[in-house]
Structure 1
């Protein structure tokens, strides 16, 4: 019987777990290929710490070449350009299409700059995260004392990165502004945590603007419908992400926002040979938030279901957690957190977060 082919498109959080499990237990009769944009896959949970100077960049990067080698997988550095599910071929930017028997997609999401006028021309998106570190290095060279760096987006990413920028650029007398918009700071978390988060911003010199959405990004300013403009020499975009353009041409079933719809087995709707996890996917019947914690939890289920599909066995279902631990770095060795309605903070919370993150990374950075 001819050897069959499992193609992993994307080096996201779920796929690194798939590779780790394949390294521990090879899949007989199958060859594996990982196609990813970058040799190093960043762990989103540690990137605010990298931006703040609490970690060296390499501490938050998974060497996908080494991980693929341990799993016996071929590595292709390229990006996805299209998909032909009928022919079971994936099209890439550089080179011939890649045929597959089973395909798993974990390519993440792209920054959604289309909804905000001027964002494409005048804002630096935080996603894709594998390109964030080079953008931060460019930012270091660009900003000057007295200038303002504004972050648009009041969710966890905007909150953590605003404090990371305060730690990184505040000593250079650069002003940091967080624009949380109409939804406000950290929507959906307990009110006590929102108050403590606002206090943490104020204590670290980050100006918080809530209650109005940015209507346009222009050179040097953020504009609003009914408020005065805010000066902003550099704008970072931490708002929602959008699906990759190639998904619209794939013929796969998508949700109203364009993300790939997947069953609880993580199979694409109507496509049993295609699986997906992480931000690229939208789970039925109720989509999970676009957050790394869900991609991490999907990894073991995805790994086992790919093996089960390859071996012709029944698949398991993924059930998103209803409550999860939230730990937010304050950029200076302190953190805030919440779980089950409890809110806590301090240096010990940062130590806890640091221990969790380092333990996660050790699974994939080990030499053997």
Structure 2
């Protein structure tokens, strides 16, 4: 008798799962049936989002064609996100009501944000930077609002979150808004709870980023934690007001809300705890990677930053381990890199490269970043799309 196929379910279409699908496309396994559940047949690559926000490329040029990639891998794609999972009975419930059985499953669903409270009448306009999958809807709504502003007005844009992503996002957004409405005076402010810009980076990358922010007419407030939105701006944890008309919220990353109602081991931020093989702690046959995953505290003293580069690095090991789990074979350990290269676009056709204490900037860095991002996306997409 032919044994039944092992059912592998990929929950979410993040960067790590793109590598999984690529691996099965390159080396098919006729004993494994793969199902992908995602809210869309297209998935944005986070590295290209700042270029899109700055108007340097189209939305489509930032997206991985999950449908085409699934087809290459012989996987079934269901465009309905997961909303519940039972690790014991081994099934996933989707938003459309469908129930999908699995033997092995993997989470790569990204993260969302803990949004600020709003108090009083007419708080500033809020643009939440996560979840990434629906950012294009929120960005379009903001641009439509900006298009209706009266001529000659003054607009204050405040970004709450001072990491590399917060800096890059604010500079990109400011560049696009200034291009869209050059008749408006735009003023930017970056609010960082840290006492330094780009914590963990060396002096030179921090200096280059500070210079780029200054050139973009963006003021940086250190040691300040944005807490809520009130009439006129952002209320800080110290009770002070930062004047704002538009607020970009890029801090307080948390796990997807539906995970709270599952039996999965979550940390305080709602991320799924995994061990060094990316297998969920205490849940054999379940895996998690990318932003939605967090190493068990006993394995790592400090959490990994929520950056797409880690999902990219985890992808090949995750692919090996999912195949191995389906065949009850030993799993491979993933070791986080000690340093990663960060390429930070500055919204003006330039970029900053940062790796540890090393840093350099220029137009050529931006062109280098765009080539890297384009190659990454093209790797997973059909040639005829490009």
TM-score, structure 2 length as denominator?
0.90
Alpha-carbon deviation of 1:184?
4.0
- How many Å separate the matches in 2 of 1:106 and 1:64? 13
- How many Å separate the matches in 1 of 2:37 and 2:383? 21
Aligned residue runs from structure 1 range 295-314, under 5 A: 295-314=311-330
- 1:122–1:219 CA contact under 8 A, matched in 2: no
- How many Å separate the matches in 2 of 1:355 and 1:139? 29
- 1:268–1:276 CA contact under 8 A, matched in 2: yes
- How many Å separate the matches in 1 of 2:224 and 2:281? 38
- How many Å separate the matches in 1 of 2:269 and 2:136? 28
Q: Which residue of 2 aligns with 1:273?
A: 285
- 2:203–2:357 CA contact under 8 A, matched in 1: no
Q: Which residue of 2 aligns with 1:205?
A: 217
- 1:166–1:205 CA contact under 8 A, matched in 2: no
- How many Å separate the matches in 2 of 1:121 and 1:243? 25
Q: 1:320 aligns with which of 327, 336, 339?
A: 336
Q: Which residue of 2 aligns with 1:117?
A: 117
Distance 1:182 1:29, change over 3 A: closer
Runs of at least 5 residues in structure 1 that lack an aligned partner in the other structure:
none
Q: Which residue of 2 aligns with 1:41?
A: 43
- How many Å separate the matches in 2 of 1:259 and 1:164? 28
Q: 2:134 aligns with which of 131, 136, 154?
A: 131
TM-score, structure 1 length as denominator?
0.94
Q: 1:146 aligns with which of 135, 142, 154?
A: 154
Which is further off, 51-60 or 226-235? 226-235
- 1:106–1:277 CA contact under 8 A, matched in 2: yes
- 1:52–1:168 CA contact under 8 A, matched in 2: yes
Tell me whether 1:106 sits opposite 2:108 in the alignment.
yes
* CA offset digits 1:150-172 (Å, max 9, x no partner): 21110111100111012101242
Distance 1:323 1:182, change over 3 A: closer
- 1:165–1:176 CA contact under 8 A, matched in 2: no
Which SS does the other structure have where 2:284 is aligned? Answer: strand
Which SS does the other structure have where 1:32 is aligned? Answer: strand
* CA offset digits 1:37-84 (Å, max 9, x no partner): 122100000100100011111111011111111111111111221111
Tell me whether 1:350 sits opposite 2:366 in the alignment.
yes
- 1:49–1:164 CA contact under 8 A, matched in 2: yes
Q: 1:233 aligns with which of 210, 227, 245?
A: 245
Aligned residue runs from structure 1 range 13-32, under 5 A: 13-32=15-34
- 1:328–1:337 CA contact under 8 A, matched in 2: yes
- 1:170–1:176 CA contact under 8 A, matched in 2: no
Runs of at least 5 residues in structure 2 that lack an aligned partner in the other structure:
none
Which SS does the other structure have where 1:337 is aligned? Answer: strand
Runs (4 or more) in structure 1 with deviation over 6 Å come to none
